[in-house]
A and B are shown apart, each in its own frame.
Chain A
Amino acid sequence: MKILVAVKQVSVLDDEFEMREDGRDVDEDFFEKDLNEFDHFAVEEALLIAEAAGDEAEVVIVTVGDEDADDALRTALAKGAERGIRVWDDSLVDADSIAIARVLAKVVERENPDMVFTGAQSVDFGHAATGMALAGLLGWPHAAVVSKLEFKPGNERATIHRELEGGLEEIMSVACPAVLSIQLGINQPRYASLRGIRQARQKPVDELDLSDLGLTAEAVKAASRVRRMYAPEKGQAEIIEGSVAEQAARLAEIVKELRGA
């Protein structure tokens, strides 16, 4: 039994930043990188299923990204996943979710997992598209924003909750293998232990390029291109200064004015 979890190294922007010269992205000096918050939950869900299943179960982490993305991969491996796959190729530099899904589809064909999990969305761009695009390419059953999952290896169907608008959940049964995008709060993601972090450095990571997957740059063309990127006009609150007592008094005054009391 094998669960493949696709993770993303997200870019966290500093508060002050400058655009790149071509105006199509932020200058890379202004980024910090981190494993996508949603992916912590996707990895945890896979580990819980694998641990309940015993020794036969394997959790494999895949990411599409350059050397920087290795940290995200190792973070997931440190939590207990068995091995990793990192795909990169210079022609992927402008890849969008759709292009990444096309890469992941080849990885799924190669790995033949019993389930594929992704985070429901990434915290940097929030496209919420990679997993479901992957499912479309594979022709696999799929569900987005899964907030509860009951699945045992070998089962032909899994029971899921889809978290809908307004806190309503739909309980569904889905045929397996499936691609599920995992919502925050589905579990309590573990922190990696020091031992886990040490072990993660030794865990095998396959580094693949497009040709290793039988792909060409043309085959993974993005479905959109950034024409320009810019900072939005931002409003700025009127800051209430003074001591804590003065600030609270002004806030109370605002409340009373607006409440007509």
Chain B
Amino acid sequence: MAEIIVVAGQRDGVLHPATLEAVSAAKTVKGEGDSLAAVIVSADPDSLAGSLSVEGVDEVITVTAGSNDFQPEVVEAVVIALAQARKPSLIATAHSVDAWSFAPSVAVTLGSGFASDVLALKSEGGDLIATRAGYAEKVLVDLEFPGRETTLVTIRTNVFEPAGGTSEPKMTTMDAPACETSLNHVGWKEPADAGGIDIPGSDFILSIGRGVNDESNVEQFLELADEMGATLGCSRPVADNGWLPKARQVGQSGQLAANCRLYIAMGISGSVQHQWGMKHIENIVAVNTDPEASIFSIARYGIVGDMFEIAEELENHF
């Protein structure tokens, strides 16, 4: 009769969509007779209780906070108080930037087991096993948590399908524990005006990476993308150097190419962060001089070669 707690996330009163992915992950190790409670901290948590009433959720715990601002100390105090009272076997939350801030701090305070960026959960002979990647995704690691009553995991986003269906969970209200807060929300800085660039909506993206080498080389790829009818995308180093606007960046700290059906990656090695935004695309073509680049392990087609030479030849076809 183990208990599982999923810590929901919200921004500006909107449920973080990856919360429901964390519910799905938790369900993979939820045994018969186990219960799963989702806890949400916000200014108006009742308004989010409905979105959390998905299949597999037995209880929604609402905690009313003074505002919707992310306050790591408040979330930490809530999770610590719940964990100490209920002794859950598992606490799961999405591996979001907010979780990066609060989850490790909760784990050290509880003295719990801990694993972040988890790709899969399973039980082996009654032991909880969390699988994550290592050495820049070149290996997988199965972690165990010997002697830990509670284990806290953060679940990589975009891996599990969000939990769906409906349930009629028990509704519980919890008072926000008193705690000092040391961060104040000042404002938001929206990504620079996309100027009509729509990476999430585009079905065909030509993307360039570190291999483009210099700002002066970017223009020809803008032209090529235009001729081919593709949206020009890029990986992080290109945007960080200011060679292309952030709105074109595909990856974890940029955009998810949600509707893309064809993705041509030129001079992109394929870091984990970049893959996050495009790995799911059915047709990926990789052009890279390094035959060992990890992009080739997720691409459908590969060309081992120089992106400039290929680009120049491609222009003759469009």
Contacts and interface: CB of A to CB of B under 8 A. Distances in A.
B100 A231 contact: no
A173 B181 CA distance: 11
A226 to B, nearest CB: 6
Interface in B214-259: 228-229, 236, 239-240, 246-247, 249, 252-256
A17 B236 CA distance: 28
Nearest to A172: B183
Interface string B252-295: 11111000011010000000100000000001111100001000
Contact of A169 (B141, B188, B239, B284): B188
Contact of B302 (A17, A137, A174, A239): A239
A154 interface: no
B152 to A, nearest CB: 8
B136 A223 contact: no
Interface stretch (A45-53, A55-63, A139-147, A209-217): A139-147
A124 B175 CA distance: 40
A75 B90 CA distance: 40
Contacts of B195: none
B190 A136 contact: no
Interface stretch (A109-117, A156-164, A191-199): A156-164
* Interface residues of chain B: helix, strand, loop or mixed (majority): mixed
A204 interface: no
Contact of A136 (B76, B135, B140, B298): B76
Interface string A96-134: 111001100000000000000000100111111111110
A127 B116 contact: yes
Given A129-B104, A184-B240, A171 B97 contact: no
* Interface residues of chain A: helix, strand, loop or mixed (majority): mixed
A225 B144 contact: yes
Contacts, number: 252
B107 A252 contact: no
Nearest to A123: B136
B314 interface: yes
A230 B296 CA distance: 20
B214 to A, nearest CB: 16
Given A124-B135, A259-B262, A171 B272 contact: no
A247 interface: yes
A203 B313 CA distance: 54
B305 A244 contact: yes
B66 interface: no
B298 A167 contact: no
Interface residues of A, number: 80
User: Which one of B236, B246, B305 has the highest number of Cβ atoms from chain A below 10 Å of its Cβ?
Assistant: B305
A237 B240 contact: no
A236 B264 contact: no
A13 B105 contact: no
Contacts of B316: 248
A137 B153 CA distance: 18
B104 A161 contact: no
Nearest to A175: B182
A165 B183 CA distance: 19
A144 B292 contact: no
B102 interface: yes
Nearest to B115: A224
Interface residues of B, number: 95
B72 A247 contact: no
B18 to A, nearest CB: 9
A178 B184 CA distance: 13
Interface string B124-152: 10000110111111111111111010000
Contact of A224 (B114, B117, B140, B204): B114
B104 A169 contact: no
Given A98-B104, A142-B101, A251 B262 contact: no
Interface in B98-127: 98, 100-109, 112-117, 124
Interface in A74-103: 96-98, 101-102
B264 to A, nearest CB: 7
A13 B135 contact: yes
Contacts of A169: 188-189, 191
A184 B253 CA distance: 10
B299 A98 contact: no
Contacts of B146: 225
A133 B116 CA distance: 12
B82 interface: no
27 contacts: A124-B135, A125-B134, A126-B117, A127-B116, A128-B100, A132-B103, A133-B104, A133-B107, A142-B72, A164-B11, A164-B98, A165-B96, A169-B191, A170-B185, A175-B182, A223-B145, A224-B145, A227-B124, A227-B143, A229-B134, A229-B141, A232-B139, A237-B302, A238-B300, A251-B310, A259-B204, A259-B229
The 7 tightest CB contacts between A and B, nearest first, are A136-B105, A248-B313, A237-B302, A252-B317, A141-B182, A167-B191, A133-B104
Given A126-B133, A133-B108, A167-B254, 15 more contacts: A98-B108, A128-B100, A129-B114, A136-B106, A163-B97, A169-B188, A170-B185, A170-B187, A178-B182, A223-B114, A229-B139, A238-B302, A240-B302, A248-B316, A251-B310
